[in-house]
Amino acid sequence: MDKSKPPRAALMVHAGAWDMPAEEREAHRQACAAALDVGWRRLAAGGSALDAVEQAIVTLEDDPAVNAGQGSVLTREGWVELDAGIMDGVTLEIGAVIGLRTAQNPIRVARSLLGADHVLLSGAAAEAAVRSGGHATLPPEAFVTERVRERLRAWQAAAATRRPGAAPADTVGAVAVDALGRIAAGLSTGGACGKPSGRVGDAPIPHCGYFADTRLAGVAVTGWGESILRLGLARRAAELARENGAQDAAWLAIRELEDRVGGRGGLILVARDGSMGWAFNTPVMALGYRDAEMAGPVVRV
């Protein structure tokens, strides 16, 4: 990475890495394309990296095809518990929420906690932040779609026969660097299908599911949360970008995830100069990217 070059604006989004059924891939491609379009328009209009990340993730949360917001998978009890986190790479401030049941856009609630006295809230405290912040809400039953009911039924059938399932991991995320070199990263998820109520994965945990530092990179992760937590994957990938190119740093981090803890997943990474990288060790990852030097966006599933 050439640290002497001025930064160029760049945005990456993802909609998960897993053994994605063929019939779901086009919906994930469209979700990434829409999020990339919204986030890039915000960057192109002079918005900050934080603005772009938030807007891209809001777009994904509003898409019922992916596991965040209105498409979130269900707990064993048949309800959603929504997690989200966001990080400002300039100040290193974070905001995160765990176990929300009514927030339409958990990432907005997470961003509202940047600079607050308490920045990682769960359960009742997180729900109180939804109410006090005037954030849009939905009744819990509005999140329970036929798609996620079917996922829960499949998980229950696999659990009953002790057969491992495909472990879908279509958590959504975004990372961006703006024209001023500011970096931001964020994630939003419904978590793991069939999880026990109260289970927390990597998505709301800074340095694990997401990380941003203008001196290094922005990273957003997806995959098997328990293994990602053990490695602190997002921070590890950003550290690797200090001495490696963005693409090499991404691959080295995913290789370490597999070699050290047997983890499966993927990540997207934007380095301080706007260079981009991604890597995954699952069959499929849905992602999109664009920078100021490209003629248009690229989306791949």
71-86 confidence digits (pLDDT tens): 999 999 999 999 999 9
Residue 164 has pLDDT above 60, yes or no: no
Residues above pLDDT 90, as percent of the chain: 89
Residue with tokens 């340095």: 207
pLDDT of residue 160: 79
Write the burial class of residue 197 (CB in 10 Å: 0-12 exposed, 13-18 middle, 19+ buried): exposed
**Is residue 189 annotated as a catalytic residue, yes or no?**
no
**What are the tens digits of pLDDT across the range 29-61?**
999 999 999 999 999 999 999 999 999 999 999
C-alpha to C-alpha distance for 153 and 4, rounded to whole angstroms: 54
Query: Cα 145 to the chain's mean position, in Å?
Result: 21
Residue 4 has pLDDT above 60, yes or no: no
- Tell me what the pLDDT averaged over the chain comes to: 94
Q: What is the mean pLDDT of residues 226-237?
A: 97
Query: Cα 8 to the chain's mean position, in Å?
Result: 22
**What are the tens digits of pLDDT across the range 103-121?**
999 999 999 999 999 999 9
Residue 166 has pLDDT above 60, yes or no: no
Q: What is the mean pLDDT of residues 259-285?
A: 96
pLDDT of residue 24: 92
pLDDT band at 159 (very low <50, low <70, confident <90, very high): confident
Which has the minimum average pLDDT: 15-19, 158-162, 194-198?
A: 158-162
Q: What is the mean pLDDT of residues 4-11?
A: 80
Rounded to 5 degrees, φ, ψ at 7 are -70, 150
pLDDT of residue 23: 93
pLDDT of residue 173: 98
Per-residue HEC secondary structure of the chain comes to CCCCCCCCCEEEEEEEEECCCHHHHHHHHHHHHHHHHHHHHHHHCCCCHHHHHHHHHHHHHCCCCCCCHHHCCCCCCCCCCEEEEEEECCCCCEEEEEEECCECCHHHHHHHCCCCCCCEEEHHHHHHHHHHCCCCECCHHHHCCHHHHHHHHHHHHHHHCCCCCCCCCCCEEEEEECCCCCEEEEEEECCCCCCCCCCCCCCCCECCCEEEECCCEEEEEEECHHHHHHHCHHHHHHHHCCCCCHHHHHHHHHHHHHHHHCCCEEEEEEECCCCEEEEECCCEEEEEEEECCCCCCEEEC
Active-site option among 59, 171, 189, 282: 171
pLDDT of residue 6: 67
Q: What is the mean pLDDT of residues 122-142?
A: 96
C-alpha to C-alpha distance for 96 and 84, rounded to whole angstroms: 6
